[in-house]
Amino acid sequence: MKTRQELVKSNNEDLSKRSRAKLLGVNLSSCYVKPKAIADDTVTLMNEIREIYGRRPFQGYRRITWDLKDLGYEINHKKVYRLMKMMGIEAVYPKKNLSKRNHEHKVYRYLLKENPPLKPHDVWCVDITYIKIATGFIYLTGLIDVVSRHVMGWHVSTSLDTESCLRALEMAIATGYKPKIINSDQGCQFTSTEWIYQLTLLGVRISMDGKGRALDNIPVERFWRTVKYEEVYLNTYESVPDARASLNAYIHWYNHSRRHSGINHHRPYEVMIGKAEATQWAFMHKVETKEKNIEINENQACGYVERSATFPRDVTPGMV
């Protein structure tokens, strides 16, 4: 629109301004409007919003409105929303369709029901999440050992491509360990020819979640929540190298120093190398209760009732 307005304002001996505006679909009066300068009190308010957002980027405009009211500003959420939109900032939150499926690619069967992980390196889970930085978004790919919760490999990329997944896999295999099964969602990165070929070369069995089945890949989903609340939301990354260095330090601490409640408060690295023993993960065999027609985990390692038999599964022709 700005380009067309400039064309209307430009000098042209053959066409009048009115004719140029009509041909370009521009309201002629808009070419004479001079933008008003932003008032000083609005600039101060925008600076307050920027400061609150820098400390807690996961808060949306409504929660920021309450923070501003606590500071003494008389303001409603509509104005905060308009100012945040003007500033080009929004709350960091999970977005849908991060990993889209390519319907021409082959989809593999979910294997963890019949092959529950009992020891480290029985199953690795892989997934991709997004992280907001000052200049846009980056994407973090991670491979997690299900039993030990150890991050085996990871990679940061500026695009959602298979190359980032292969780099993370390369880092994981470089540790000297190899899983029996790698489980992923049905995203196009994990159904791609390059990813499938690499896992086949390694002799790793391929497992994929059912459509809409977030619980099928819960170990890595839980790690995303942890890394975002303990690292990402507490920092403002100015660049990709800055984010990569900070995430590298956090993941090293997570693996070697952080005690995890899901593995008897051991450190993931200790369980991964067999120095400590974890509770069994919740993909264990099930027993049926007499009172209710549900399935429960006999060990109850994770403290939740597994009712996956009652959930819908997307079984499409051609799945193997």
Residue 177 scores a pLDDT above 70: yes
Residue found under tokens 């890595």:
220
The helix/strand/coil state of 164 is helix
Which residues 6+ apart lie within 8 Å of 127 measured at CB? 99, 141, 142, 184, 185, 217, 220, 221, 224
Of all residues in the chain, the percent with pLDDT exceeding 70 is 77
Q: 79-113, pLDDT tens digit by residue?
A: 999 999 888 888 876 555 555 555 556 788 889 88
Contact in structure between 168 and 126 (CB atoms under 8 Å):
yes
Residue pair 235/250 in contact (Cβ under 8 Å)? The answer is no
pLDDT averaged over every residue in the chain? 79
Position of tokens 């008897």?
A: 264
Give me the pLDDT at residue 291, please: 42
Answer whether residue 244 shows pLDDT above 70.
yes
Greater confidence, 169 or 314?
169
Full-model pTM: 0.59
State yes or no: pLDDT of 307 exceeds 80: no
The pLDDT value recorded for residue 141 is 95
Dist CA 147 CA 124 (whole Å): 9
Lowest mean pLDDT among 57-61, 127-131, 145-149, 270-274: 57-61
Residues 247-273: what's their mean pLDDT? 92
H or E stretch including 33? none
What are residue 96's phi and psi, to 5 degrees? -80, 160
Cβ-count burial 82-92 (b if 16+ within 10 Å, e if not): ebbeeeebebb
**Which pLDDT does position 213 carry in this prediction?**
57
In this prediction, residue 316 has a pLDDT band, given cuts at 50, 70 and 90, of very low
The residue written with tokens 């939740």 in the block is 304
Q: Residue 174, Cβ neighbours under 10 Å: how many? A: 10
Confidence of residue 256 (pLDDT cuts 50, 70, 90): very high
Sign (positive or negative) of CA dihedral 76, 77, 80, 81: negative
pLDDT score recorded for residue 34:
67
Return the pLDDT at 134.
Answer: 85
Q: Which two tokens stand for residue 165?
A: 């997944």
* pLDDT reading at 262 higher than 60: yes
| 22 Cα distance to chain centroid | 46
Whether 71 and 48 have beta carbons less than 8 Å apart is answered as: yes
Strands (E), the chain: 123-133, 136-145, 151-157, 181-184, 205-208, 286-288, 295-297
Assigned token pair, 13: 């001996």
pLDDT of residue 3: 74
Q: pLDDT at residue 300 above 70?
A: no
User: Considering only CA atoms, which of 280, 288, 290, 226 is closest in space to residue 258?
Assistant: 226
The per-residue pLDDT for 175 is 93
Mean pLDDT confidence for 248-276: 91
pLDDT band at 124 (very low <50, low <70, confident <90, very high): very high
Taking the C-alpha atoms of residue 84 and residue 78, their distance in angstroms, rounded to an integer, is 10
User: Dihedral angle at the C-alpha atoms of 63, 57, 144, 150, nearest 10 degrees?
Assistant: -100
Q: What is the mean pLDDT of residues 186-211?
A: 89
